[in-house]
Structure 1
Amino acid sequence: MTDDTVNALVSPEGSLEILSSHEVNRLKDKSEGGLYRLFRQCALAVMNIGTETDDCKDLMDLHADFDLRLIQQPRGLKLELINAPASAFVDGEMLRGIREHLFAVLRDIIYAHSILAAAPGFRRDDGETTTNLIFHILRNARVLRPGHQPDMVVCWGGHSISRDEYKYTKDVGHELGLRNLSICTGCGPGAMKGPMKGATIGHAKQRVTGGRYIGITEPGIIGAEAPNPIVNELVIMPDIEKRLEAFVRAGHGIVIFPGGVGTAEEILYLLGVLLHPDNRHIPFPIVMTGRQENAEYFRMIDRFIRNALGDEAADHYEIIIDDPVAVARAMKHGVESVEAFRREHQDAYYFNWMLTVDPVFQKPFDPTHESMRALQLDRDQPTYLLAANLRKAFSGIVAGNVKEQGIRQVQERGPFEIAGDPELLRPLDDLLAAFVRQNRMKLPGSSAYRPSYRIIDTTTQSTGTD
């Protein structure tokens, strides 16, 4: 142990004091099928709040001597932490918020794997089964609250943003909080933290007690986007696809701030779902917003969407520049429309059961050099399926940027190759190059961005960004 690390025994608070012997053995199992490595990775991430890294591999390498052990005692469960980051403690005691996050990780990892183990017939290509799994994980985490009026605004945006952009996200969050709206984000820094921080002040002014600041993440990204300290309800979904579906099922509207490839992935997922013919009548407010200096960023996003998916996709969102009050008013009005629609159709306020999410958006995409090259990126398919494939391309780039497995693949075999219709890929290449120029691929101050992708023009076999 060094001055930067701590050894400690930590007890859960209010949840999961008891585990079965089978669950304990799974968590101790260091083999490929065990849960030890997954739990260790996620536990380390939640204890590194505030760390200036967005590279999961770097985080794991930096704390290679960190370990944790489960201790079953007559009076319940404890975690023994060895060489844990000292920043997670004050005067020898773990910060309460971090302790909550730590045991939320344990709760969700155990619960998700218990469900799958108890359902041997689970089919990844069955949409209803997948949606039910997401519902059960959210319900077990007590995110779904019957009897509450719709108020959950999901905020998406980059973890790598400027100080001025961050302040704007706080201003928007403040206005949302003043209107008694709750906040749900990807739980990390930047545009995920800002709206929560602003909303805490708005809620305080309105004397809102029990303000909700929900963070939804997944194991592959949590090391790059550790939960910020404002998150008071943390949920770990099994993978990125279930994380994205959880956002659109539990949320009542979405505000999108400037971001990089992760934000673009989220936008394409959302628009692809809403473009499905079964969803065209379902209200779901979307506002894209930023400072005046971000106006060109959103014009660029809008051009890319219209080129790839058509004007119908653009009809699903509005762009509001440099006006937090207008954003909050638009979102409040949109949430009221959602409430009226749910009431008319007798759908639950707390979970969007009526929304159709095609299995193409649910099946986990494993980014490899082969799967990335094989993506169908042309217009010879329904628009919502094109959106799904473009989303997978961005997902692969995210994996190569910040996820441990993706980073290792790129290090060993070079950048992922993305091939397809040049009329789609040239604007895609321009968009990615702009993200690099605007430093939206890495945290400010972190090591220089190393591209994890290469655009292939199949008409000439030349490469684009490298």
Structure 2
Amino acid sequence: MDSEEELVDARIAPLGSLENLSQREVEQILNAGRGDVYALFRRCALAVLSSGLETDDIRDIFERYRDFDIRLGRQAWGVKLELKNAPANAFVDGQMIRGITEHLFAVLRDIVYIHDAILGTQRFDLEDSYSITNAVYHILRNARILDYKGRPNLVVCWGGHSITAVEYDYTKRVGYELGLRALNICTGCGPGAMKGPMKGATIGHSKQRIRDGRYIGMTEPGIIAAEPPNPIVNQLVIMPDIEKRLEAFVRCAHAIVVFPGGAGTAEEILYLLGILLAPENADLPLPVVFTGPPSAAEYFGHIDRFIGATLGSAAQRRYKLIIGDPAQVAREIAHGVDAVREFRRARSDAWNYNWLLKIPLAFQQPFEPTHEAMATLELHRGLPAHIMAANLRRAFSGIVTGNVKEQGIRSIDTFGPYVLRGDKKIMGLLDELLAAFAAQRRMKLAGEYRPCYRLVA
């Protein structure tokens, strides 16, 4: 760390979450401030406090603030946080920025709840599909994401944290058009294509005098340090793992917009299409639009060819590709959301949580991308489309882990690149797509990209 960089000590009271707690809840939180739960909370808290730093190298953040410490204390109405050697960029004139304070206590709320109510009890069988869906619902409800009772209007936006300035401006223009149509935004909460739509929507909402716009950020502990919450997020939720984060996205979404991105965006696309290809979801409306500026046409051409060659034309029919026309994207989404509302009304499904969507267990079970697990993924022609989508999703999840997650980076440093094996055609398509991501600098924010994978036909 730069010896001249300022660090801050502070005591922070709850804001946005945990303002009113019973004595039992206080004891639970204080007890959670020890051992593995504390270590997880410290890492996520540092990620939140580091929001705005131009890096996605987790090791750099943790090394730069290696002396950072955060402790939980008791006060008359609940808990307080005591910070030592915190990043100065989280403060203005000695006071923590309000949005960062809210995010910090949202992290504490979710980590404690997940540890105590989801993982720490026998209430949820996390090997059972319906029970997993129920657990996701309870996490979102505890975070008050489901409190909204208005008409369906939530648009999930996916895309990369490492995108060009032209692409970022385009995401803002799409967000603006969505905001003008009174649509709210949910993203992975980080920078780039996760921040742009929210930033644009705030202007659209302001012009329409919408003062309660929702800018929801959904993340998970493994990726929050590489993609810390951007300052526009006004509702933050931490899911236990990437699979439950993905399920939270699609359960809450009334429509999905996909901007250019890298391996993480490809993972999200494959997850979504794999689910929508399930026969049970054949008639379920969920508008999906792939979009970007004219300069992104080649990127989406690679994506579309890859999907067609691996999952087939049925998968291609589940999305529309719109290049260079933000207003048309918003019109398409608004029209699609109307269809979703009528469908859910007719089927008596909840407007704020899509219970009717069927998610196969293969898409819900956490995938730990060890070298062995990556090497044994089945990537062969002839697999059913939803199984191929599930396995390709896992492959991209492993690449994301090797690119930006601490445990993945350390594993690559120790054992070398992951090895992916499959048919020559599949490996060729995968190589073409990943090479395009790397050439377009979609894998990392800065510095030379060293592949964390090796493809073997």
The TM-score, its normalising length taken from structure 2, stands at 0.97
Match of 1:463 in 2: none
Given that 2:16 and 2:106 are in contact with CA atoms closer than 8 Å, whether structure 1 keeps it comes out as: no
- 2:121 corresponds, among 97, 119, 132, to 119
Match of 2:295 in 1: 293
Given that 1:28 and 1:69 are in contact with CA atoms closer than 8 Å, whether structure 2 keeps it comes out as: no
- 1:354-393 correspondence runs (5 A): 354-393=356-395
* SS of structure 1 residue aligned to 2:145: coil
| Aligned length, in residue pairs | 451
* SS of structure 1 residue aligned to 2:118: helix
Select between 297-306 and 376-385 the one with higher mean Cα deviation: 376-385
* Structure 1 residue 378 displacement after superposition: 1.3
* SS of structure 1 residue aligned to 2:176: helix
Residue type at the aligned position of 1:252: H
Match of 2:316 in 1: 314
Cα deviation, 1:153-187, whole Å, max 9, x if unaligned, reads 00001100111110000000000000000000000
Match of 2:92 in 1: 90
Distance 2:78 2:254 in 1: 38
Distance 2:365 2:133 in 1: 11
Match of 2:208 in 1: 206
Distance 2:397 2:269 in 1: 12
Given that 2:124 and 2:135 are in contact with CA atoms closer than 8 Å, whether structure 1 keeps it comes out as: no
Match of 1:220 in 2: 222
Distance 1:251 1:117 in 2: 25
* Structure 1 residue 75 displacement after superposition: 3.5
Matched, 1:452 2:416: no
Cα deviation, 1:209-265, whole Å, max 9, x if unaligned, reads 111000000000000001000000001000000000000000101000110000000
Distance 1:119 1:86 in 2: 38
* Structure 1 residue 122 displacement after superposition: 3.4
* SS of structure 1 residue aligned to 2:39: helix
Distance 1:393 1:75 in 2: 47
The root-mean-square deviation of aligned C-alpha atoms, in Å, is: 1.2
- 1:287-436 correspondence runs (5 A): 287-436=289-438
Match of 1:139 in 2: 141
Matched, 1:27 2:33: yes
* Structure 1 residue 348 displacement after superposition: 0.5
* Structure 1 residue 204 displacement after superposition: 0.4
Select between 269-278 and 69-78 the one with higher mean Cα deviation: 69-78
Cα deviation, 1:63-107, whole Å, max 9, x if unaligned, reads 111001111133421100000000000111100000000000001
Residue type at the aligned position of 1:416: Y
* Structure 1 residue 121 displacement after superposition: 5.8
Distance 2:160 2:397 in 1: 14
* Structure 1 residue 14 displacement after superposition: 4.4
Percentage of matched positions with identical amino acids? 59
Match of 1:172 in 2: 174
* Structure 1 residue 27 displacement after superposition: 2.0
* SS of structure 1 residue aligned to 2:32: helix
Given that 2:26 and 2:78 are in contact with CA atoms closer than 8 Å, whether structure 1 keeps it comes out as: no
- 2:67 corresponds, among 57, 65, 68, to 65
* SS of structure 1 residue aligned to 2:56: coil
Match of 1:194 in 2: 196
Residue type at the aligned position of 1:123: D
Residue type at the aligned position of 2:57: D
* SS of structure 1 residue aligned to 2:161: coil
- 1:245-284 correspondence runs (5 A): 245-284=247-286
Distance 1:179 1:15 in 2: 30
The TM-score, its normalising length taken from structure 1, stands at 0.95
Match of 1:76 in 2: 78
Given that 1:57 and 1:403 are in contact with CA atoms closer than 8 Å, whether structure 2 keeps it comes out as: no
